[in-house]
Amino acid sequence: MIKKLSIIIPAYNEGSTIHLILNKIREVILVGGTDKEIIIVNDCSTDDTESAILRYMNANPDMDIRYHRHEINMGKGAALHTGISMATGEYTVIQDADLEYDPQEYNDLLKPVLKGFADVVYGSRFMGGNPHRILFFWHTIGNRFLTSVSNMFTNLNLTDMETCYKLFDTKMLQSLKLKEKRFGFEPEVTGKISRIPKIRIYEVGISYYGRTYEEGKKIGWKDGVRALYCIFKYNAPYQNISLQFLIYLIIGGVSALFNLLLFLLLIKTMSIGVSTVIAFYSAAVLNYILCVNFLFNKNARWKGWKEYIIYFLSITVIAAIDLGSTKGFINMGLAPVYSKTIATAIGLALNFLIRKYLIFKVRR
């Protein structure tokens, strides 16, 4: 039995629709007589969202509505963080302030929980026989791509990771240390919730009444790029070594290409030794930046200057190997481009092992 459902509504410039979605929520009768706790977080709207909310609260004193306003615009994710911290119901569902999702489907989300099967339920726009407005082809392709990449890391088989409708066990949700302040919330919370031991995640089909940009839709392609970055950021550090090495091959490949191109540019005016050292250390800096942002956690085993000294020493050893093998292959008669390519491949494997087992410490 669930006594209370917390409904978190992040709102930014939704003055024209906020009262309509609240009316829809008011009409919902939850199964089992579950109470509704509505938490509205106004992310510093510049229209009349706040006055619309306050008018509605005054006109409907019987509804359990809690209101919070951000003094500066911080993003949807930040509004959700605030709402999550305020939730007191056993379960929490996320509701956008527009009219794209139907609150009558809360009961569909609750069914797997009430039957004792689920801790988390996602509402999928891509399954079931409910109505779906036909809109943007490339948005659909993007959503499916992001969901597929997320599934690859989480080992889930979701059909709609980016959906708004997510129902969580509130204590589980509040136990997560969430950081993303914008639309990166979706891949972050999915990745982190999937790592809770014995978590039970279900998915149900929902309807979708999407908006056009003229009607107020806010998400854009930059948010899609950020979501992809977040999938790597919050999942890659916890993968098995095979998948991590595959990711590192991409990172290392970019760094190695930069190393090679810079070497070939510098060798026209500098000696082999100087060109090799400058190209190698420049690529090492790029490699470090990519590693801490896409593969390993930002916090290494050592803090501050110790971390950088150990990293410097490790790449110095690899640099010596790189220089020695490059010169050795050239002396054996190989062209500089082939010599450098082989040396770079050797450094690639050694760099991965040193970063994984010496420099970076995975923190769950």
Among 180, 210, 236, the domain boundary falls at 236
Least trusted range by pLDDT, from 63-72, 133-142, 172-181: 133-142
Domain count, the chain: 2
Average pLDDT over residues 42-59: 96
pLDDT(268) > 70? yes
Is the domain of 129 the same as that of 21?
Answer: yes
Among 196, 221, 236, the domain boundary falls at 236
Is the domain of 221 the same as that of 280?
Answer: no
Establish if 355 belongs to a structural domain.
Answer: yes
Q: Give the pLDDT confidence of 310-329 residue by residue, as tens digits.
A: 778 887 888 888 888 888 98
Predicted pLDDT at 202: 97
> Could you list the residue range(s) of the whole structural domain that residue 301 is in?
239-359
Establish if 141 belongs to a structural domain.
Answer: yes
Q: Give the pLDDT confidence of 26-39 residue by residue, as tens digits.
A: 999 999 899 999 99
Average pLDDT over residues 252-258: 87
Establish if 352 belongs to a structural domain.
Answer: yes
Average pLDDT over residues 60-76: 96
Selected residue with higher pLDDT from 364 and 146: 146
CA separation, residue 331 to residues 324, 326, 343 (Å): 10, 9, 13
Is the domain of 181 the same as that of 261?
Answer: no
131-138 contacts at long range (C-beta below 8 A, 24 or more positions apart):
131/207, 131/208, 131/209, 132/207, 132/208, 132/210, 133/208, 133/209, 133/210, 135/210, 135/212, 136/210
For the domain that residue 203 is a member of, what is the CATH number? 3.90.550.10
CA separation, residue 106 to residues 9, 44, 167 (Å): 14, 27, 9
Q: Give the pLDDT confidence of 155-165 residue by residue, as tens digits.
A: 999 999 999 99
Is the domain of 196 the same as that of 267?
Answer: no
Q: What span, in angstroms and rounded, lies between the C-alpha atoms of 130 and 46? A: 34
Predicted pLDDT at 207: 94
Predicted pLDDT at 265: 93
Is the domain of 76 the same as that of 221?
Answer: yes
Average pLDDT over residues 235-258: 86
Is the domain of 212 the same as that of 254?
Answer: no
DSSP 15: T
Is the domain of 75 the same as that of 89?
Answer: yes
Q: What span, in angstroms and rounded, lies between the C-alpha atoms of 95 and 21? A: 9
Hey, what are 299's tokens? 């916090």
Is the domain of 143 the same as that of 172?
Answer: yes
Q: What span, in angstroms and rounded, lies between the C-alpha atoms of 330 and 338? A: 9
Q: What span, in angstroms and rounded, lies between the C-alpha atoms of 34 and 3? A: 5
| Local confidence band at 273 (pLDDT 50, 70, 90 cut-offs) | confident
Selected residue with higher pLDDT from 266 and 223: 266
Give Rg (Cα) of the chain: 25
Is the domain of 193 the same as that of 279?
Answer: no
Share of the chain above pLDDT 70, in %: 92
Burial of 242 (0-12, 13-18, 19+ CB in 10 A): exposed
Predicted pLDDT at 214: 61
Is the domain of 203 the same as that of 333?
Answer: no
CA separation, residue 109 to residues 103, 344, 358 (Å): 10, 52, 45
| Local confidence band at 284 (pLDDT 50, 70, 90 cut-offs) | confident
Establish if 209 belongs to a structural domain.
Answer: yes
Average pLDDT over residues 71-86: 96
Establish if 364 belongs to a structural domain.
Answer: no
Average pLDDT over residues 248-263: 88
Predicted pLDDT at 337: 86
| Local confidence band at 107 (pLDDT 50, 70, 90 cut-offs) | very high
What mean pLDDT value characterizes the chain? 88
Establish if 115 belongs to a structural domain.
Answer: yes
- Does the predicted model carry a pTM greater than 0.85? no
Share of the chain above pLDDT 90, in %: 52
Among 201, 221, 236, the domain boundary falls at 236
Is the domain of 60 the same as that of 193?
Answer: yes
Is the domain of 104 the same as that of 48?
Answer: yes
Selected residue with higher pLDDT from 331 and 296: 331
Predicted pLDDT at 163: 95
Predicted pLDDT at 253: 84
